[in-house]
Chains A and B, each alone.
Chain A
Amino acid sequence: MDRFHSPSAFFFYGLFVFLLLASLVARLLIRSGRVRGEMAGNLADRIRAWWVMIGVLALIFTLGAGAITLFFALCSMAALREFATITHTRRDDHDGLAIAFYVVLPLQYLLVYFEVPVFAALLIPVYCFLLLPVVTVLKGEVQGFLTRVSETQWALMVCVYCVSHIPAILTLDIPGYRYSAFTLVAWLILVVQASDVLQYVWGKALGRHLLAPRVSPSKTVEGLVGGVLSASALGVALAPFTPFGWWRAGLVALTVTMFGFLGGLIMSAIKRDRGVKDWGTLVQGHGGILDRLDSLVFSAPVFLHILAWGWL
């Protein structure tokens, strides 16, 4: 019964209470006519998707480390599918992509789950970088070669390598920390996702100055500052559940939310260049799974390194 009384379990209880409130407020806003039309539909879709996402996360956290690793492996699969869809890859890249999907992705998660950190750290950035272009070059098609192999490498880095750092946190042994690493995964996801939501809310409420108008029409200075600061405040409030202490918790939260923001910006630039608004249609109201994961992709490795090597 311990897993129902762990700090991460209480995070989820809190989230469910919060979602209940959010659903009630949204229903009141829609019923009173203050939010209407397309916006009302999108709001309802988004909240429903949050129920599903938090419900699934609560379930896999209850089931344990294997379930969490498998879940993020499936997320990687869906993300890789979205990323590969919008690249320039063509017939001659098919074998490289098939290897990425059917060999590299499962192997990376097996290395994470069975705690082989050295190979988990080297597989994609070094060995895929060296060997996958070989598969492609043997096809003999040189047109757009660098673009195509780089896109496959980026797809693997973003969708598999970085995402696999989230379950990798579970394998850490942090001296002097009295809770399990599950709590830290929950803390990271909570703070980074809260930052996304709060940036959206602050941006809608006060946003005036576009931060990078050519990259993203919705990111504003006000949204960034408000979102990052309020999410960091949430991280500080939850500091007793982390090994950090108040000040360091704030600093770590600020770091991961900033990396999350920059990740979102980079992924927006890729979408914009390829002429799509969302990565996919997997998550109702949110777009694709990469639209939801982008900030975690860029913050998870940094968070792992802070924990593993005591940075900050």
Chain B
Amino acid sequence: MTATTAVRLTRAGLVGTARALLSLRAIDLPPPSGAPRILVANHVSHADFVALWSVLPPAARARTRPVAGADYWERSDLRAWIANEVFRAVLIDRDPASRRGDPVGTVAAVLQGGEDVIFFPEGTRNLTDARLLPLKSGIFHLARAVPQAEIVPAWILNLDRILPKGAFLPVPLNCAVRFGQPMRPETGESRDDFLSRLGAAMLALSQAKG
């Protein structure tokens, strides 16, 4: 995958700005295991993906792609360029009524091709007061479709304080991404059981100290 200069500069600029402004760092990132990885995180702002992406080691960053909603990211040429070229996003159609393709199949193909993905299992940005929205079933179906993939829960700390809902200016605070132990749905585990286990793992990361 060769990238144009504009794309490279935009990527470097975003990562550099995020790291300089927020002093970003990864906490407890599990070492690569060779299995394809689904990084699963909370989602409060558009900066989430950049934050998560910036803390990954360069090699992992190069093979990690965000899963994003096509309806949002194809709305303008600039957005489409950012999504397709800069982030190499895997765009999926979130609306079951109108979609033609199979979103789980699209993401599964990327994982089977040896790349990692960043997945926001709440399905949308959380603009409520709850710490985490109820998880959508997509992550469960994806995990079943690619059983060799490991799901790594992550929590992006402090972003909600840096740019709270309705605020205009970000306040620079130190930000970090805390990672948990890789997990997979167990044999026979129901969808709801798995989703609540994953949600609990994510919330536990949000409360850990240090």
Residues of B within 8 A of A84 (CB): 171, 173
Query: B25 on the interface (CB 8 Å rule)?
Result: yes
Contact A276 B210 (CB under 8 A): yes
Contact B210 A98 (CB under 8 A): no
State in angstroms the CA–CA spacing of A85 and B23 once bound together. 11
Query: A94 on the interface (CB 8 Å rule)?
Result: yes
Contact B171 A97 (CB under 8 A): yes
Given contacts A280-B23, A281-B23, contact A98 B158 (CB under 8 A): no
Within 8 A of A (CB), among B66-81: none
Max count, chain B CB within 10 A of own CB: residue among A91, A94, A97, A276: A94
Query: A102 on the interface (CB 8 Å rule)?
Result: yes
Query: B6 on the interface (CB 8 Å rule)?
Result: no
Minimal beta-carbon separation of A271 from chain B (angstroms): 12
Q: Which residue of B lies closest to A86 (CB)?
A: B174
Contact B25 A281 (CB under 8 A): yes
Contact B164 A85 (CB under 8 A): no
- Which secondary structure dominates where chain B touches chain A? loop
Query: B209 on the interface (CB 8 Å rule)?
Result: yes
Contact B167 A81 (CB under 8 A): no
Q: Which of A81, A102, A281 contacts B173 (CB 8 A)?
A: A81
Query: B131 on the interface (CB 8 Å rule)?
Result: no
Contact A101 B210 (CB under 8 A): no
Per-residue contact bits, chain B 143-178, to A (CB 8 Å; 1 contact, 0 not): 000000000000000100100110101011110000
Q: List 22 A-B contacts (CB under 8 A).
A: A77-B172, A81-B172, A84-B171, A85-B158, A85-B173, A85-B174, A89-B161, A91-B164, A91-B165, A94-B161, A94-B164, A94-B171, A98-B167, A101-B172, A102-B169, A275-B209, A276-B210, A280-B23, A281-B23, A281-B25, A281-B174, A282-B23
Contact B174 A82 (CB under 8 A): yes
State in angstroms the CA–CA spacing of A97 and B169 once bound together. 10
Residues of B within 8 A of A281 (CB): 23, 25, 174
- Which secondary structure dominates where chain A touches chain B? helix
Can you add 5 more A-B contacts, CB < 8 Å, to A85-B158, A277-B210, A282-B23? A82-B174, A89-B161, A95-B167, A98-B169, A98-B171
Within 8 A of B (CB), among A21-73: none
Query: A90 on the interface (CB 8 Å rule)?
Result: yes
Residues of B within 8 A of A94 (CB): 161, 164, 167, 171
Residues of B within 8 A of A280 (CB): 23, 174
Within 8 A of A (CB), among B6-44: 23, 25
Minimal beta-carbon separation of B24 from chain A (angstroms): 10
Per-residue contact bits, chain B 169-189, to A (CB 8 Å; 1 contact, 0 not): 101111000000000000000
State in angstroms the CA–CA spacing of A95 and B169 once bound together. 9
Minimal beta-carbon separation of B136 from chain A (angstroms): 26
Within 8 A of B (CB), among A255-294: 275-277, 280-282
Residues of A within 8 A of B210 (CB): 275-277
| 5 nearest A-B residue pairs (beta carbon) | A85-B174, A91-B164, A85-B173, A97-B171, A98-B169
State in angstroms the CA–CA spacing of A282 and B174 once bound together. 10
Contact A81 B23 (CB under 8 A): yes
Minimal beta-carbon separation of A148 from chain B (angstroms): 12
Q: Which residue of B lies closest to A92 (CB)?
A: B164
State in angstroms the CA–CA spacing of A275 and B209 once bound together. 7
Minimal beta-carbon separation of B139 from chain A (angstroms): 28
Given contacts A89-B161, A90-B161, contact A101 B25 (CB under 8 A): no
Max count, chain A CB within 10 A of own CB: residue among B164, B165, B172, B209: B172
Residues of A within 8 A of B158 (CB): 85
Residues of A within 8 A of B173 (CB): 81, 84-85
State in angstroms the CA–CA spacing of A200 and B173 once bound together. 29
State in angstroms the CA–CA spacing of A247 and B209 once bound together. 48
Residues of A within 8 A of B25 (CB): 281
State in angstroms the CA–CA spacing of A89 and B164 once bound together. 12
State in angstroms the CA–CA spacing of A95 and B171 once bound together. 9
Contact B174 A81 (CB under 8 A): yes
Residues of B within 8 A of A101 (CB): 171-172
Minimal beta-carbon separation of A9 from chain B (angstroms): 30
Minimal beta-carbon separation of A37 from chain B (angstroms): 20
Residues of B within 8 A of A82 (CB): 174
Q: Which residue of A lies closest to B173 (CB)?
A: A85
State in angstroms the CA–CA spacing of A282 and B164 once bound together. 24
Minimal beta-carbon separation of B116 from chain A (angstroms): 25
Minimal beta-carbon separation of B201 from chain A (angstroms): 22
Minimal beta-carbon separation of A293 from chain B (angstroms): 15
State in angstroms the CA–CA spacing of A82 and B25 once bound together. 14
State in angstroms the CA–CA spacing of A277 and B174 once bound together. 15
Within 8 A of B (CB), among A84-134: 84-85, 89-91, 94-95, 97-98, 101-102
